[in-house]
Structure 1
Amino acid sequence: MKSDRLLSILLLLQTRGRVPAHELATRLEVSVRTIYRDVEALSASGVPVYTERGRHGGIALVPGYRTDVTGLTADESRALFILAAQGAHAALGLDEALGSALRKVMAALPEPHRPAAELTSRRILVESSRWMGPPPREVDVSALQDAVFTDRRLRIRYRHSGAGKPRTYTVDPYGLVSKAGVWYLIADRRAVPRLFRADRTQSVVVTDAPVERRPGIELADVWAVLKRQVEKRPGGIAVTARVHRSRYDLFLRMCGNSLIEHPRDDGDSEWITVRLGYGVLGAARMLLPFAEHLEVLEPPEVRAELARGAAEVVSLYAGTPRARP
């Protein structure tokens, strides 16, 4: 709607200052000509907006002009209160600040939207932790948060998964990302994007050297690259297996990230055929916990690998414990 677009332009100018017309057009997915028509409409309604030509020109508001949020729609106001349930602000020490901000938003909302916004916070609950997950580790995210805002290089002590001793790295930080309740430091090391779990970061030191980020690259860009790298599992060994229907949902939760094609389930068969991909032969041993409820059909080398793994488990439990606790 045009009214929503006009409000978006007004808030963008209020937040960003002078903004080129082509940037507004891109952000709002309209033509530059439409942006100029909208600017004329804002001006005609009494908003002190003006344009400047030239290389460093753009569209801007007269300095000192402010507006409130009374233009929020019902859906937009509900979205703000759902945001309060996400939980990330608590780890950043922003609980009180968010509560205060929402009270101010509530006071500025149009009267008809206030009941729906208040009800949203009581009817919607977002829980970021997974079912049956391990106990959360104590993580001082505030230290990392302070560090990434300094625009200085960081020296971190970091312990990799499975490693006994931590290692020291000097990195150029882009920022922090919270995914499924886990915080990550996103940074370049020698101009290569890296991902560091906050709960494995043992210490953070802000150096005197200025940060050296790659030109034109933002946190969202680096995160998109790292996310693709993590999710693009190596699939050098293709495995065909059948899973009993009684364990199929559990299989999807535990092994779904190894699927190389979506299983075809007609809803009637007792067994469901699946196709998986593994980078190394030993990785297929993760299928052993399903016991008789999952059978690898091919290739033969994976069947042999699982047989060896099962034999090793039988041998381990056939006698008395090797060491007493």
Structure 2
Amino acid sequence: APGSPSLLQLADLVLVDSTAWFADSEAGVDVSDLASALRHRRRLRIQYRRSAENQASTRVVDPYGIVAKSGRWYLIADDQGNGRLFALERLSSYEQLDAPAALRPSETLRTRWAALKERTEGQGRVSVTVRLPENGLDLARRILGNRIHDVSDAENGWCTVVVRYPDIESVRQLLQFGDHIEILTPETARERISQLARDLVERHSTPAS
């Protein structure tokens, strides 16, 4: 209608980033419906469950758009002025409010995504390369989730996987794979996992006191 604000193009609201974060999950809301709703540039009231919580909570957010990252969809929005990634499989419902979205001047979906992506990837300062049997990849996804940065094609039944950790000490998580894993690099990670394994052997070589 004359005088009404023009709708934004979907290309300004949906961004597909095909580079690897390893995830395999389904969106909890219809992505196309949400994308269409975002064209109105209004605030959203969402029901969202954080990964560490059992129940969803209600929050009001200012959305920039949605991003697809290796099979997982995210709503990119400001939550009380702070940029956030909301995984759509944990977003159970949303409602458009009458108020326009309060977005940062000169910021777009792409600039907000770039900043959030850099912040998220910056949490993994140590890249650890490991070798896993191909049939162990499903277990790796469940245990490691988004810490997996890259997975090679299988060769002779084995895959090379790059895992990102905030520090070397975090490699103790890889003990869950038992003898189905080998750390290739860096050498400091190999040494740490070797020391942890020796400590386990020593602790279990005598009866418990």
For normalisation by structure 1, the TM-score amounts to 0.40
2:34 counterpart residue number: 144
Q: Which has the higher strand share?
A: 2
The offset of 1:292, in angstroms, is 5.9
Q: 1:232 aligns with which of 107, 119, 122?
A: 122
Contact 2:42 2:101 in 1 (8 A): yes
Change (3 A) 1:284 1:175: same
Match of 1:153 among 13, 25, 43: 43
Do the aligned partners of residues 182 and 276 (structure 1) sit closer, same or farther apart at CA in structure 2, a change above 3 Å counting?
closer
Q: Which residue of 1 aligns with 2:82?
A: 192
Deviations 1:41-95 (A, max 9, x none): xxxxxxxxxxxxxxxxxxxxxxxxxxxxxxxxxxxxxxxxxxxxxxxx9xx9xxx
Deviation at 1:173, TM superposition (A): 0.6
Identity within the alignment, %: 30
Contact 1:147/1:204 (<8 A) preserved: no
- 1:172 is matched with which residue: 53, 62, 77? 62
Structure 2 vs 1, CA of residues 175 and 288 (structure 1 numbering), >3 Å: closer, same or farther? Answer: same
Amino acid at match of 2:68: S
Residue 289 (structure 1) aligned with residue 181 (structure 2):
no
**Do the aligned partners of 1:239 and 1:298 also contact (CA within 8 Å) in 2?**
no
Gap change, CA 1:169 and 1:190, over 3 Å in 2: same
Paired positions, count: 166
Q: Distance in 1 between matches of 2:80 and 2:61?
A: 7
Match of 1:181 in 2: 71
Higher relative contact order (CA 8 A, sep 6+): 2
Check the 8 A contact 2:149/2:163 in 1, yes or no. no
Residue deviations 1:201-255 (CA, integer Å, cap 9, x gap) = 01101112221100011111001111111222343xx6988x66x859x89x977
Task: Report the AA paired with residue 195 of structure 1.
Answer: L
CA contact (8 A) 1:172 1:187 kept: yes
Tell me the TM-score normalised to structure 2 length: 0.58
Read off the aligned partner of 1:148 and give its amino acid letter. Answer: L
Query: Residues 4-19 of structure 1 correspond to what in structure 2 (within 5 A)?
Result: none
Give the root-mean-square deviation of aligned CA atoms: 4.5
Give 5+ residue unaligned stretches, structure 2.
Answer: 1-10, 151-159, 205-209
- Select the residue among 45, 53, 60 that pairs with 1:163: 53
Structure 1 residues 135, 205: CA separation in 2 closer, same or farther (over 3 Å shift)? closer
CA change 1:146–1:284 in 2 (3 A) is same
Once residues 182 and 310 of structure 1 are traced to their aligned partners in structure 2, the CA distance between those partners, rounded to angstroms, is 40
- Quick one: structure 1 residues 290 and 239, their matched pair in 2 at CA, closer, same or farther if it must change by over 3 Å? farther
Q: 1:173–1:211: 8 Å Cα contact kept in structure 2?
A: yes
Query: Structure 1, unaligned stretches of length 5 or more?
Result: 1-88, 93-127, 259-271, 315-325
- Which deviations, in whole Å up to 9, do the C-alpha atoms of 1:251-305 show, x marking residues without a partner? 9x977639xxxxxxxxxxxxx9x99754484553135426165258647665455
Distance 2:201 2:55 in 1: 32
Q: Distance in 1 between matches of 2:123 and 2:82?
A: 20
Instruction: State the distance in 2 between where 1:198 and 1:275 align.
Output: 24
| Aligned counterpart in structure 1 of residue 149 of structure 2, from 225, 242, 257 | 257
1:288/1:310 contact within 8 Å kept: no
Equivalences for residues 18-167 of structure 1 within 5 A: 134=24, 136=26, 139-167=29-57
Find the aligned partners of 1:292 and 1:173 in 2 and give their Cα distance: 43
Query: Deviation at 1:181?
Result: 2.6
